[in-house]
Structure 1
Amino acid sequence: MKTHQVVTMEREEIKLVGFTIIESLNNVLESKIFGTLRENLAKQMDEIENRNGSGIYLIQIYPHEGQWTPDIPFQHVIAFEVTSYGEIPSGMITYIVPSGRFVKIIHTGAESQIGTTYDFINKSFGERPIDIEYWNDIHTLESDDGQIDIYIPAK
């Protein structure tokens, strides 16, 4: 049985620059759009002014009706953190994750196995308005020792 490291912490706001799509989870998984968006974002990383590191964030903002299913479209933001906003590259958006108290869950292993970590999160924490994933190195996402940090709002 897989164990999950869980830590509660305060986070400052996160300023992001990147891409956004509105799509259902099932369509995202079927189309593999995140891989394309990640690669496009990585190719354009030097165009993003005031970029803070090379890790990439995935923000998933769920509908507020509370009736979410994998077939219901919702907003996804895939982006780099910036220290401040400069000129935004064409086709990209800005997004701010507000400061607050978050629970950090660490997924260790291949990204393709992250469903088991989300099963744990859903069972342990229930519905939430947002999930934040942080990919420190997109080139190790499918390795057995890869790590994805997941942040969810603390209740």
Structure 2
Amino acid sequence: MSSYLVDVVERKEVHLVGLAIKESLNKVMETKIGGKLRKELERRQSEVENRTGSGMYLIQIYPQDGHWTPDVPYRHIFAYEVESFARIPGDMVSYTLPAGRFIKVVHKGAESQIGDTYDFINQTYGVRPIDIEYWNDIHTLENEDNQIDIYVPR
């Protein structure tokens, strides 16, 4: 069973380096490519220079026309925060999350139950350009006491 807490927060600009794909939600769920990319990035974390902390981000950038459905491809970035951009491996990407005000929704429970939290977010906040997930420890994602921070721009 999942539960969530909601707060409004100001976030600083965050520089990220990691792996990216453009795929639909349904295809990501079907192929489990997200989990594969998460594990690949963790395996290659030593290649990410100037990395800060051990947590990992998932940035989901939706089509700007607002016509997103689970069958429409969009950009997924699995990344680590870095102090600054240094040498970026050729098959990785850099991305800067802008500073600003965000709604922080804390999903508590297994990652496999996060759909309930996104149903709440979608019903409450509607269409948005981006979702940001922060996983403190990718090894505990299926634990009942797991916590995933989700940031929605406001």
The TM-score bracket by the shorter chain reads over 0.9
What does residue range 27-42 of structure 1 map to in structure 2 within 5 Å?
Answer: 27-42=27-42
Aligned pairs, number? 154
Share of identical aligned residues, percent? Answer: 60
Would the alpha carbon gap of residues 83 and 115 (structure 1) be closer, same or farther in structure 2, given more than 3 Å must change? same
Which segments of 5 or more consecutive residues in structure 2 lack a partner in the other structure? none
TM-aligned CA deviation for residue 3 of structure 1: 4.4
- Map 1:1-155 to 2 at 5 A: 3-154=3-154
Runs of 4+ in structure 1 over 4 Å off: none
SS at match of 1:51: coil
Q: Note if contact 2:59-2:133 (Cα within 8 Å) is conserved in structure 1.
A: yes
Q: Do the aligned partners of residues 151 and 122 (structure 1) sit closer, same or farther apart at CA in structure 2, a change above 3 Å counting?
A: same
Letter paired with 1:139:
H
C-alpha RMSD of the superposition = 1.1
Deviations 1:34-65 (A, max 9, x none): 11101110011111110011100000000011
Residue 2 of structure 1 and its aligned partner are, at CA, apart by: 5.6
Does the C-alpha gap of structure 1 residues 2 and 57 become closer, same or farther in structure 2, counting only changes over 3 Å?
Answer: closer
| Cα shift at 1:4 | 2.2
- Give the gaps of 5 or more residues in structure 1: none
- 1:56 & 1:30 partners in 2: Cα distance? 22
- Measure the CA separation in 2 of the matches of 1:151 and 1:37: 21
Preserved contact between residue 2 and residue 113 of structure 2 (Cα < 8 Å): no
* TM-score, normalised with respect to structure 2: 0.97
Against the structure 1 CA distance between its residues 99 and 30, is the aligned structure 2 distance closer, same or farther, given a 3 Å change threshold? same
